[in-house]
Chains A and B, each alone.
Chain A
Amino acid sequence: MKDKKIIKIYLYTRYERFWHWLQSFMIICLIVTGLEIHGTYKLFGFQTAVNIHNFIGLSWLILFAFFVFWLFTTGEWKQYIPTTKKLFSVILYYSWGIFQGKPHPIQKSKGAKHNPLQRLAYLGISAMLLPVQMVTGLLYYLYNDMLGILPLSILAVIHTLIALFLLNFLVVHLYMTTTGHSLFSHITGMITGWEEIYETTEIADWETQATRKN
């Protein structure tokens, strides 16, 4: 495999990359300020932390709507349909094969940006954790105006737990970006849009210009 040619394909569109970095910025800010509100440490001061948290939280809710719109109008939502096909081989790769220099069992392509493990993880996060975090956050924010829907203690506990799960995700996610061809190739991919893959299929001439680079 080592002699296989590495090529670049254009995987992430401009909006997608923009959204990825904006959302990551917002979520990191929310985790940092949220944990201060939680009482884990002192950084900005409680009041400032609350103001930043509420402001970014509400912005995120609004911007997320645009993302959902994009997801459905472009059909990109299909990228998140879970599959068990090859799931096991991906798990096997990360727990064993990677140490032996084996190639990744899945090659990214325009039609399948995420491997089966990623699909599952991202679906869980985008369809479960994030919406629940948004709803609990919003109810937390509007608590005084809708007393009694859910007691604050329950809202806060769910909100805190998911915040820590997202921090967990962030750790793993950041680490996984280093598992590309070089340590930074995945990150570079999300910045420029061009992701490195092994050349697998023959590409027609007309196709190379727009989507692949040698």
Chain B
Amino acid sequence: MTPRYFLKCCLTVIAVTAFFCSFQAAFASTLENGEEALGRKLAKQAVKDSKRWSTIDHTKVEALNKDFTSGEEITGACLSCHSEAATQFHKTIHWTWLASGDKSDIRYGKAGYSVNNFCISGNAMEDKGCLKCHVSWNKKGVKGEVNCLKCHNSSGFNFNEAFGDIKAFSEDNDPETNEMVKDIQQEIKQAITKVTFPTRKNCGECHFKGGGGDGVKHGDLDTSLTKPNRMLDVHMGIDGKNFSCTRCHTTVDHHIAGRIYTNPAVETRKSLIEDDLAPKITCVSCHSSEPHKNDSKMNDHTDVVSCQACHIPKYARVNPTKMWWDWTKAGKMKDGKPYVVKGPFGKPVYKSIKGEFRWEKNVIPEYFWSNGSQTSTTADDIIDPAQIVKVSHPVGDKTDPEARIFPFKIHRGKQPYDKIHKKLLAPMLSGKRGFWTTFDMNDAIEYGNKTLGIPYSGEFDYVETTYAFPITHMVAPKENALNCTECHIRENSRLASITGLYLPGRDKSNLIDIIGWLSVFGALAGVFLHGIGRFFTRNGKEN
């Protein structure tokens, strides 16, 4: 090789390398890590000033500087300034427990015909056990007075207990107990000045414990989110953004943004750039619909795949969640007494009052098309007991422009239904005539259905049901988002159940593959035989 030729070869190699490099810089800048993704930039901007300010110091408010003897009195004090608060609040689902603003429409809501496959029904607020989570004083439900402190007090003080004690003590005139009443009242006075916008603890008191205990219901909401780290939730992590719930569940006139039974949280996803007064409830609100780096293939996914599908790889990552609840097993006794059996995670796997349970941790979601709406089978809807009844299920399919592939927790269970009327039943659980006292399911149903005004035939059996919870909290840091091959893989794709679309890496045409590979292996065999032929005939050469 002459030096000149060698030089030319080198120059060619350099030119080719330079071409590829410049190309890379122009088209694939995304592969470099330096630049920040648009979605992060926008979101950071949107929550830049997280400190909220106020013109009031509640420790200086005269109306609160009183010796209160009941919760209702405190609410009166709040309303003496915040004149419209209760009026507003009375119209919200947090108060009415009905999805519709129209009081005569009781189809959807805990106080209406809605049922689930946990404690089944709220029995029109007649099941007092449920009212622990109603925002009223003394479990009075809508007949009572709003308890502002449930959501707006950060002291953690037990006001109900304190007022109970005051009531008990004030009945005798012993000066020593009078002293104690004074002390308690002093504590109350101090506690009520701890006024706050709702914290995660306030909301979590009910929403982390839905279904009767920590982590029972949602799977992506449990007490681990009171003080999560950012590995559990990038938004709420106390070592990260430390969002409160209302940072995203934005509020207008005490109406808090979020899905309400069949109604989606928002009709269309809009970023704050498109609509600055839109609720911040969707990922798109802050992150936009092209959240990843420029030209990233990931941005091509956002019209089909929800953010949650990849960014919440598993739910119930710290506390376990209930996956199965079988009411058929309820009511067994040991020595004539109800009992509890504990299983893995220290969680009950059997309770006489409730039946059999199964718990799981680090659960992989199930994926469905969802446009944000959910179906809801109520105690007044006809079911087909021959099939698994979907009490709640996502709505949407691939032709729906608002639908995305979305992760869900599916809670499965068995619950009573009316064999004649073919409707799900609403047994009363707590109280004198409730199942938890009588262990008589038939009577509990009789009484429970009466509270709803839905006739009961007297004959019940159990049917298997599912209840779907969208998984949207517990967003993991981006480095923990799913790898492509969780879905783009032939076997065990997470999206195995999402059919009717071509998913590269998962799908193929068997026919085409067979034709193609036959041609390849045919060619291999052909050249092999030809080669052998040439070898033995030595191309016809003698030597």
Contact = CB atoms under 8 A, between A and B. Distances in A.
Given A46-B484, A164-B520, A99 B534 contact: yes
Interface in B489-505: 489-490, 501-502, 504-505
A98 interface: yes
Interface stretch (B430-438, B454-462, B523-531): B523-531
B20 A156 contact: no
Given A55-B24, A100-B537, A152-B502, A171 B512 contact: no
B523 A160 contact: no
A45 interface: yes
A46 B485 contact: yes
Contact of B527 (A46, A101, A152, A172): A172
A195 B141 CA distance: 96
Contacts of A51: 28, 31
A59 B20 contact: yes
B519 interface: yes
A153 B520 CA distance: 22
Interface string B500-514: 011011111100110
Interface string A173-196: 001001100000000000000000
Contacts of B506: 39
Nearest to B504: A37
Nearest to B491: A39
A10 B520 CA distance: 33
A3 to B, nearest CB: 13
Interface in A140-189: 143-144, 151-153, 156-157, 160-161, 163-165, 167-168, 171-172, 175, 178-179
A161 B515 contact: yes
B212 interface: no
Contacts of B23: 55, 58-59, 62
Contacts, number: 111
Contact of A101 (B485, B533, B539): B539
B540 A99 contact: yes
A157 B508 CA distance: 7
A213 interface: no
- Looking at chain B's contact residues, the main secondary structure is helix
Contacts of A178: 531
Interface string A2-22: 100000000000100010001
A55 B24 CA distance: 8
B539 A98 contact: yes
B488 interface: yes
B16 interface: yes
Interface residues of A, number: 42
Interface SS of chain A: helix, strand, loop or mixed? helix
A207 B367 CA distance: 73
B183 interface: no
Given A38-B508, A55-B24, A99 B523 contact: no
Contacts of B484: 45-47, 50
B300 interface: yes
A132 B519 CA distance: 18
Given A38-B505, A47-B484, A100-B540, A164 B519 contact: yes
Interface string A125-149: 0000000000000000001100000
A48 to B, nearest CB: 10
A99 B537 CA distance: 6
B39 to A, nearest CB: 17
Interface of A: 2, 14, 18, 22, 37-39, 42, 45-47, 50-51, 55, 58-59, 62, 94, 98-102, 143-144, 151-153, 156-157, 160-161, 163-165, 167-168, 171-172, 175, 178-179
4 A-B pairs closest in CB distance:
A101-B540, A164-B516, A175-B527, A153-B502
